[in-house]
A and B are shown apart, each in its own frame.
Chain A
Amino acid sequence: MLRSLKSFGAFWYDFVIGDDWHVAAVIVVALAVTALLVHVAGVNAWWLLPLCAFAALGWSLVRATAGKSR
């Protein structure tokens, strides 16, 4: 039973989060900061999520290819 639950959780983790959890973490944090900026500071921070998404993608690509040749 525990093994089934573990493999079920592993499947969904792999399905949604994938190979690099840092990307998911950046998106979640960026959304939280965006919500804070909009609702607390009154800043319409529409630009923050796209910028963070591009940065997260670049960071992930750099780490995936660090020290590797094609």
Chain B
Amino acid sequence: MTALPLVLTVFVACAVEAVEALTIVLAVGLTRQWRSTFQGLAAALVVLAAVVAVLGPTITLLPLTALRLVVGALLAIFGLQWLRKAILRAAGYKALHDEASAYLREVAAAKSAPVSARRGVSDWYAFTLSFKGVLLEGLEVVFIVITFGDNQHDLAAAVVGAALAVVVVAVTGFVVRAPLSRVPENALKFAVGIMLTSFGTFWGAEGAGVTWPGGDAALLGLIPVVAVVSLGYTAWLRRRGRSAAGADRSGPPARAPLSETEGVTG
């Protein structure tokens, strides 16, 4: 694989996470105060940089087969999680992630919290919320950067993809001074889920000892297959949902859709 697909895959995956982190930072910064918000943001970035600096080179010390087996398994599991949520959202069984309403929830919570100074930070609430938001979303970015970068022996290209995503999202967010609610988040997550699952399956199986027909070119066949299967599941769930809704009209009332409470991803 050349550097461009690696950079693009990491860019899209990290852009999704950056949009979610931006929503939290904007809500806290505009409602509370920017100084403590930026302190929280900077502290989280320092922790994330330390994680990359320690984990990135350490993981490369593992033999390639072991690395591909472990990283492939983790990526496949992680990717299937993303796909599952994206399919449930696309089929209408789970509420779509709405950055505008997430922003309003954060603003309401930030307005009601008291201001208290601690450890040299003038607004501890703004600091901790910004720190946690950036750290949690950033950990997913770090995971993707390290796994993709190390497996392709091109950590620099993965870091470039992630850095570009963060810069583009941050600059756009601070120019419009609003959450990026027009970003088609679920479509992006669907695409990222397909890529993570495909790469994870490819590397995991290689780590287990298989030889893919066609070598690395098999990945170009695997990605569309994962996409078709995922779209097939979505269409099937939509059809099933319509049939159930039709039956419900003549029977008991429908239950509420699954709520937006599951997990840290998505």
Given A68-B257, A69-B254, answer yes or no on A23-B208 (Cβ-Cβ < 8 Å).
no
* B244→A64 contact, CB < 8 A: no
The binding surface of chain B is classed by DSSP as helix
Residues of B within 8 A of A61 (CB): 84, 87-88, 233, 237
**How distant is the Cα of A48 from the Cα of B85 in the complex, in angstroms?**
24
The binding surface of chain A is classed by DSSP as helix
Residues of B within 8 A of A70 (CB): 91-93, 241-242, 244-245, 254, 257
Query: How far apart are A32's CB and chain B's nearest CB, in angstroms?
Result: 8
Cβ of B49 under 8 Å from chain A:
no
In A21-70, the 8 Å CB interface with B consists of 23-24, 27-28, 31-32, 34-35, 38-39, 44-46, 48-50, 53-54, 56-58, 60-61, 64-65, 67-70
Cβ of A16 under 8 Å from chain B:
yes
Residue in A18, A28, A56 whose CB lies within 8 Å of B263: A18
Residue in B77, B210, B255 whose CB lies within 8 Å of A34: B210
Residues of B within 8 A of A60 (CB): 80, 84
* A49→B76 contact, CB < 8 A: yes
Cβ of B229 under 8 Å from chain A:
yes
Given A53-B80, A61-B84, answer yes or no on A44-B210 (Cβ-Cβ < 8 Å).
yes
* A65→B264 contact, CB < 8 A: no
Residues of A within 8 A of B248 (CB): 69
Residues of B within 8 A of A69 (CB): 241, 244-245, 248, 254-255
Cβ of B33 under 8 Å from chain A:
no
Residue of A nearest to B209 (CB): A38
**How distant is the Cα of A56 from the Cα of B83 in the complex, in angstroms?**
12
Residue in B91, B242, B265 whose CB lies within 8 Å of A18: B265
Cβ of B225 under 8 Å from chain A:
yes
**How distant is the Cα of A7 from the Cα of B226 in the complex, in angstroms?**
34
* B76→A53 contact, CB < 8 A: yes
Query: How far apart are A5's CB and chain B's nearest CB, in angstroms?
Result: 18
Residues of A within 8 A of B73 (CB): 27-28, 31
Cβ of A8 under 8 Å from chain B:
no
Enumerate 22 A-B pairs (CB-CB under 8 Å) in ascending A order.
Answer: A14-B264, A15-B139, A18-B78, A19-B85, A19-B263, A20-B84, A23-B81, A23-B84, A46-B213, A49-B208, A53-B197, A53-B226, A56-B80, A57-B87, A57-B233, A61-B88, A61-B237, A65-B240, A68-B255, A69-B241, A70-B242, A70-B257
Beyond A16-B74, A50-B226, A70-B242, list 20 extra A-B contacts (CB 8 Å). A15-B139, A15-B265, A16-B78, A18-B262, A19-B81, A19-B84, A20-B84, A27-B204, A28-B73, A31-B204, A34-B210, A35-B209, A44-B210, A49-B76, A50-B205, A50-B225, A53-B80, A53-B197, A57-B229, A68-B93
In the A-B complex, the 3 residue pairs with the closest CB atoms? A69-B254, A38-B209, A18-B81
